A and B are shown apart, each in its own frame.
Chain A
């Protein structure tokens, strides 16, 4: 257990080392959010309607702001790291460590995400809460959100791990990474709330693991009128995908390691 805590701590230290980058990311996000604000404001004004697909302008904004914060919090650069390590051959040093590679990376990333949570996500939630005058109700949903967020983090990590393992085959990490990012950001409802999707597409997207990463925790945080049945369904979906992806990632990683060739040294 101790070694995992040390890894988390290292991740935290690593992240805090780059304070300027935190500030830049923060300022960048503020401008990004302002851009979203104006865009959707214009969209809603042009439509002349108060609610579209059951979402008012405020709902949409709260959703998108929190989705962005959640995305920035959970963004991990595993595929990048992997691509570089494989290309340079340094991956062997990670592989010969007396700890499973998947766990080694997991706890390192967890440390970074903890920092992100405190620096990015928490302030955003507080600001949204103040600005909207209680748009997010504080109650049991906070707790449920927390659980969903942890599950989402693990699902997200597994997706990244599966994709990262592909780097052992092709070394073309740029293309693979960008495809992953695009698929996740569209199908998770991060760019546009899932409520806006046409029904046929929505019903497919809801079965996929990507919406379990952003949409599920966010819905739990924002929407206070969910029935027990809804919760069961959402958590069930998360846990199901978590198990599938976890097994998939572990198996695929093992399979890939047998195939890998590492140049030089």
Chain B
């Protein structure tokens, strides 16, 4: 049997997603409408921001451009979850209808196979918008552009994306234990709307809640500090990369544990 190294999985991954992309591209109208949907969401988010800042000139001493930076970063951090881990949204239906069993018979990692089945192109528009906003905010904040700064931002972006994907893994995995768990995903996903506000507006209890229980602060706030507060990095920013890997691994174990309890619908 062939050895299962990273290369093996990567090769399979690209095979699977290229099939999915091909099938997606044959529905061009759907792609255009979905992309527009995502753009609409983000423009609306932007308008909300703009209206708030028309009435108030700062939130907790964070100015417009700093908050905008957080906003742009959160868009970028949500993209990988949207593009690569989108199949989590369908998990509930597969489990409910019994179709999930087909994934259990593949001789590769169950989670890997399940997730790689879908590549969601429409997230790319969101990513572009995030990059655009960050660049715009960066210029207006008059920060200097250094290679180190950009590298740090990329590392933090990967860390943030892993945390976000992990959150959705756990939320999706609840369907192995309960029916109709779509509500869990919808509820958890709603919180991501609040990733874009600075965590220091909350009191201590909620800071802990959003840092460690539903760690949305690791999706935007802590990682962004690498740029916004580079002279005085919070400790949680420094540990964010390690935290994210650990968190993602835990979410993977939870997902797999749930899947191991799955015993089909009997059809």
Contacts and interface: CB of A to CB of B under 8 A. Distances in A.
Interface string A186-216: 1000011000111000000000000000000
B191 interface: yes
Interface of A: 18, 20-21, 24-25, 27-28, 31-32, 34-35, 38-39, 41-43, 45-47, 52-53, 170-172, 174-179, 182-183, 185-186, 191-192, 196-198
A182 B44 contact: yes
- Minimum-distance CB pairs A-B, first 7: A28-B187, A175-B37, A175-B33, A42-B201, A175-B34, A178-B37, A172-B30
Nearest to A187: B44
Contacts of A170: 29-30, 33
Nearest to B34: A175
A182 B56 contact: no
Contacts of B201: 38-39, 41-42
Contact of B56 (A27, A28, A38, A43): A43
Given A35-B202, A39-B197, A182-B37, 4 more contacts: A25-B187, A28-B183, A38-B206, A192-B51
Interface stretch (B3-11, B58-66, B139-147): B58-66
B263 interface: no
A182 B40 contact: yes
B106 interface: no
Contacts of A43: 52, 56, 59
A18 B59 CA distance: 39
Contacts of A35: 191, 194, 202, 206
B29 A172 contact: yes
A178 B123 CA distance: 14
A176 B37 CA distance: 7
A18 B33 CA distance: 32
Given A172-B29, A172-B33, A198 B56 contact: no
Contacts of A183: 40, 44
Interface string B113-139: 000000000100000000000000000
B44 A52 contact: no
Interface in B160-182: 178-182
B150 interface: no
B38 interface: yes
B71 to A, nearest CB: 14
Given A170-B30, A172-B30, A192-B52, A46 B36 contact: no
A64 to B, nearest CB: 12
Contacts of A52: 55-56
Given A38-B206, A198-B51, A174 B37 contact: yes
A172 to B, nearest CB: 4
A185 B44 contact: yes
Contacts of A46: 56, 58-61
Contacts of A186: 44, 47-48
Contact of A42 (B27, B60, B178): B60
B184 interface: yes
A198 B183 contact: no
| Among A21, A32, A34, A197, residue most surrounded by chain B Cβ atoms (within 10 Å) | A21
Nearest to A27: B187
B179 to A, nearest CB: 7
A21 B37 contact: no
B40 A32 contact: no
A39 B122 CA distance: 30
Contact of A31 (B36, B182, B191): B191
A24 B184 contact: yes
Contacts of B34: 172, 174-175
Contact of B40 (A24, A41, A174, A178): A178
A91 B37 CA distance: 24
B33 A182 contact: no
Given A41-B201, A192-B48, A24 B56 contact: no
B59 A179 contact: no
B190 interface: yes
Contacts of B27: 171-172
A35 B195 CA distance: 11
Nearest to A32: B190
Nearest to A36: B194
B203 interface: yes
Contacts of B265: none
Interface string B28-50: 01100111111011001001100
